[in-house]
Amino acid sequence: MALARSFADRQDPSLHVGIILDGNGRWARARGLPRKAGHRRGAEVVREVLKGCSSRGIRYLTIYAFSSENWKRPQGEVADLMGLLRLYLRREVADLRGNGVRIAFIGDRSRLSREINALITEAEESTRHNATLTLTVAVNYGGRQEIVDAVRRIAEQVRDGDLDADEVSEETIQRHLQTRDLPDLDLVIRTSGEQRLSNFLLWQSAYTELVFVPTLWPDFTLDHLDEAIGEFQRRERRYGGARS
């Protein structure tokens, strides 16, 4: 646990880790199982990793659960994913609340069912005062669309005379993002060996350290988490400056 303690003891108390959960379908296919079996196992791993992040002093965890492009998947698989989300919201929120976890959602909720939207609202409201760890779940989310929406709202303010165009800055855009209450990402982990962001938190990842793990998400363990954290700690974050 020395690695976990060293991460928790860092000076910055607001470390933010993002995880792109990739490989559920391949995990199931390799075992001759339906894809939904991989998604179910993946949800169990989310529970384990969430507990591991809490014990390691990570204050912010954002997971990429369902992208805006995932609607292109077969209708049956999308239905299974939505059903799994409903199940998670019904079964896990009480534990999150009891363990001091605040849950929040980002993404376009307009395509989600009325039932899921109601469960999301209830989950956010019932955990909003928790402060041990903030779990942000990206559902029907796309980084480019988030930036477009922010720019559109800013343009409307300029049009209406509520904001001078010369005053628009990076901070202005930041305030209009769905993640306005979160720090930028420090570390993004992607499983399954793929090496791309896939439209995940593009603005917030400007100076993020990226760690790509070959393991499929359903096989991801806390040892893999610690290895990714160790890789993060070994890097020198210069934010465009010279090497020290």
pLDDT band with cut points at 50, 70 and 90 for residue 237: confident
Helix (H, G, I), strand (E, B) or coil at 210: strand
Residue 201 has pLDDT above 80, yes or no: yes
Task: Give the β-pairing of 101-106 and 60-67.
Answer: unpaired
Concerning whether 199 is annotated as a catalytic residue, the answer is: no
CA dihedral in degrees (123, 99, 143, 119; nearest 10)?
-10
Catalytic residue among 9, 22, 140, 160, which?
22
CA angle 148, 150, 154 (to 5 degrees): 115
- Report the pLDDT averaged over residues 199-224: 97
User: Which of 60, 109, 104 lies closest to 82 in space, CA to CA?
Assistant: 109
Q: Within 13 Å and on the Cβ side, how many CA atoms surround 230?
A: 10
Dump pLDDT digits (tens) for 36-46: 999 999 999 99
pTM of the model: 0.91
- Both structure tokens of 39: 């998604």
pLDDT digits (tens, 9 = 90+) for 156-193: 999 999 999 999 999 999 999 999 999 999 999 999 99
Rg (CA), the chain: 18
Based on the residue annotation, tell me whether 166 is a catalytic residue of this protein.
no
Mean pLDDT of the chain, nearest integer: 92
**What gap in Å lies between CA 24 and CA 30, rounded to an integer?**
10
Q: What is the pLDDT of residue 22?
A: 96
pLDDT over 80 (residue 128):
yes
pLDDT number for residue 240: 63
Mention every residue, 6+ apart, whose C-beta is less than 8 A from residue 8.
Answer: 56, 57, 58
Under the banding of pLDDT at 50, 70 and 90, the label for residue 226 is: very high
Considering 12, 70, 80, 162, which one is annotated as catalytic?
Answer: 70
Lowest mean pLDDT, pick from 33-37, 55-59, 162-166, 236-240? 236-240
Does the pLDDT at position 10 exceed 60? no
